Amino acid sequence: MNVETKVSPSNLLAKDPDWWRGAVIYQIYPRSFQDSNGDGIGDLAGITQRLPYIADLGVDAIWISPFFTSPMKDFGYDVSNYCDVDPMFGNLADFDAMLSKAHDLGLKVMIDLVLSHTSDQHPWFTQSRADRTNDKADWYVWADPQPDGTPPNNWLSIFGGSAWQWDARRLQYYLHNFLTSQPDLNFHTPAVQDALLDVARFWLDRGVDGFRLDTINFYVHDARLRNNPPLAEADRNSTIAPAVNPYNHQDHHFDKNQPENLDFLRRLRGVMNPYNAAAVGEVGDAQRGLEILGEYTAGDDLMHMCYAFEFLANARPDGAEIQGVMDRLHKVAPDGWPCWAFSNHDVQRHASRWDLDTAGLRAMVTLMMCLRGSACIYQGEELGLGEADVAYEDLQDPYGLEFWPEFKGRDGCRTPMVWESQGENAGFGAGKPWLPVGASHTALAADTQSKDPTSLHAHYRAAIGLRRGSDVLQKGDQSPIQLSGSVLTFTRSLGQRTLWCAFNLGAETAPLPAPPDGAWADLAAPGASAAAHTLDAWAFCIMENRDG
């Protein structure tokens, strides 16, 4: 990419209430990022150690997956204390040190709040399940069995089977959209909402800059507990549950996506506003993801941004698919703000999922940086890490253990970060890692790529730098995508300035369409031949109109 990368701290954004708009967010899965004490598990001190590497990439913020006190049945997404650090990750002092170092480097810090459910070891649930009359009796979703003793309705768990678990203490069922050890909180109880808002205040007071909100559309359930209708087989396209999971057989109309959720999100936004904090919500819905994104980010009193699962799907999106997603987004969420992601801790890494070589990875990340919206990149994708092959005896993920071998779970995208091509455990730490280092990953280690100006890592820095250096790419409008064969084109505009972007997402050289009338100058055009008016396979061309 022939553009000078300008990486500087984000302190100029500190007073900008829209710092999140167009931001690039780097996701850290703490168990697998850096182990500082040799116990085989990454920790907060390890994150602090590696923050300069992240800052050097040029991103605006980090998102840290859960590090709260937890029995770790779902590796931190089952919280037993929202306001403390699990000892395996360190303590609050370690968090404060990490936060201070990040801010010194100009990085915003977003933490992963899991508000839809807790661990069954949370004191709230311990009290709630004790009897039907205590102060927290209605803090979770309890229901009587049907006359024949079966669950209250047909709702299913993402991890397989019924979403209801019988409890012998209360002689009732409780709702769990995920593991049986993850009971769902009852958002119809005002005190529950108040307690969760206090959790947000705790971390905001500590200095965090925002939140990633896990399963944001799962907070509120249908108070009448109506059955979900069946989903036609042709529509079973879920990316949050494998095809072998019967969860895909339902239209999840009543167990999530309830209109009352908007009231809570407005309350949460009200708590965040005085802190100039931002939130990105995870929308887990295969059929209505973009519509919900639009609902949850409309106006200035709901969430700042959300990401749906359109680009986390198994099939690589071609130009027509990307055009369709953007057209639908414009139709159902014209005022919404998306946050795009190709990989995260829950899906197979996109280098493998989409079978992309280095040229393809370069084109796709540059496209992400040019699309309207913010962007999340997942640790290691800047190195081109593919999905690791984890043997059955090494599996840790309950999802994979439940559905193996048809679905191997999420461990393959959670293996340790590779820092050194020659170091012990690839530089992750001295002890045996909780998951094995990917056998093919060490050749792609950060210490090697960060010194190579032709590496994928260098390209990520340049692509992020391109966005960081352009308020048009950060906050500008986007025209509808035009498609000519395998080449998609669109413009980004802000005020009098316009950029024209062209991407060849095919494996063959393709004609380069002519940009709109104007005096255009290349910002980045690797693989583009102006004389021949062509784009090589996976090449792109980004031009700026100098008429303005």
Reported as a single tens digit per residue, the pLDDT across 268-283 is 999 999 999 999 999 9
Question: Do the Cβ atoms of 214 and 113 come closer than 8 Å?
Answer: yes
Is the model's pLDDT at 2 over the cut of 80?
Answer: no
Q: Give the model's confidence band at 10: pLDDT under 50 very low, under 70 low, under 90 confident, else very high.
A: very low
Domains, the chain, with CATH or none:
17-116+190-468 (3.20.20.80), 476-545 (2.60.40.1180)
Q: What percent of the chain has pLDDT over 70?
A: 95
User: Which DSSP symbol is given to 262?
Assistant: H
Q: Is 312 helix (H, G, I), strand (E, B) or coil?
A: helix
Q: Which residue has the tokens 């309950």?
A: 398
Q: Which of 56, 5, 104, 27 is nearest to 374 (CA)?
A: 27
Question: Do the Cβ atoms of 79 and 114 come closer than 8 Å?
Answer: yes
How far out from the chain centre does Cα 109 lie?
14
CB neighbours of 217 closer than 8 A, spacing ≥ 6?
256, 257, 261, 281, 283, 284, 285, 292, 296
Separation CA 515–CA 520 (nearest Å):
8
Q: Is 516 helix (H, G, I), strand (E, B) or coil?
A: coil
pLDDT average, residue stretch 470-486: 97
Separation CA 343–CA 459 (nearest Å):
17
Nearest-Å Rg of the Cα atoms of the chain is 23
CB atoms within 10 A of CB 2: 9
| φ/ψ (deg, to 5) at 501 | -120, 135
Q: How far apart are the first and last CA of the chain?
A: 24
Q: What are the angstrom distances between the C-alpha of 388 and each of 69, 341, 353, 506?
A: 28, 19, 11, 26
Q: What is the pLDDT of residues 287-311, one digit of tens each?
A: 899 999 999 999 999 999 999 889 9
Q: Is 485 helix (H, G, I), strand (E, B) or coil?
A: coil
Q: Decide the pairing of beta strands 510-511 and 534-535.
A: antiparallel
Q: What are the angstrom distances between the C-alpha of 253 and each of 220, 250, 282, 285?
A: 12, 8, 17, 10
| φ/ψ (deg, to 5) at 89 | -100, -10
Separation CA 95–CA 84 (nearest Å):
10
User: Which residue intervals of 388-443 are DSSP H helices?
Assistant: 398-403
- Better pLDDT: 526 or 198: 198
Q: Positive or negative CA dihedral for 198, 202, 205, 211?
A: negative
How far out from the chain centre does Cα 171 lie?
38
User: Which residue intervals of 250-349 are DSSP H helices?
Assistant: 261-272, 289-297, 319-332
pLDDT score of 518 = 85
pLDDT average, residue stretch 529-534: 70
Question: Do the Cβ atoms of 20 and 278 come closer than 8 Å?
Answer: yes
pLDDT score of 143 = 98
pLDDT average, residue stretch 53-61: 98
pLDDT score of 154 = 98
Between helices 44-57 and 92-104, what is the axis angle to 10°? 10
Q: Give the model's confidence band at 6: pLDDT under 50 very low, under 70 low, under 90 confident, else very high.
A: very low
pLDDT score of 16 = 83
Separation CA 69–CA 89 (nearest Å):
9
Q: What percent of the chain has pLDDT over 90?
A: 85
Residue 214 a catalytic site member? yes
Which one from 74, 78, 94, 214 is the annotated catalytic residue?
Answer: 214
Q: Decide the pairing of beta strands 482-484 and 108-113.
A: unpaired
| Max Cα–Cα distance, the chain, nearest Å | 79
Strand partners, 24: 375
Q: Which of 403, 404, 450, 441 is nearest to 423 (CA)?
A: 441
> In this structure, what token pair is assigned to residue 273?
């506003």
Question: Do the Cβ atoms of 362 and 464 come closer than 8 Å?
Answer: no
Separation CA 477–CA 492 (nearest Å):
5
Separation CA 473–CA 524 (nearest Å):
13
Q: What is the pLDDT of residues 351-363, one digit of tens each?
A: 999 999 999 999 9
Q: Which of 406, 411, 381 is nearest to 395 (CA)?
A: 411
Whole-model pTM? 0.95
Strand partners, 498: 493
Q: What is the pLDDT of residues 210-262, one digit of tens each?
A: 999 999 999 999 999 999 999 998 888 766 566 778 999 999 999 999 999 99
Residue 282 a catalytic site member? yes
Which one from 78, 86, 222, 282 is the annotated catalytic residue?
Answer: 282
Question: Do the Cβ atoms of 141 and 164 come closer than 8 Å?
Answer: no
Q: Which of 198, 191, 184, 181 is nearest to 121 (CA)?
A: 181
> In this structure, what token pair is assigned to residue 461?
């820095």
pLDDT score of 1 = 58
pLDDT score of 548 = 58
Q: Give the model's confidence band at 399: pLDDT under 50 very low, under 70 low, under 90 confident, else very high.
A: confident
pLDDT score of 498 = 96
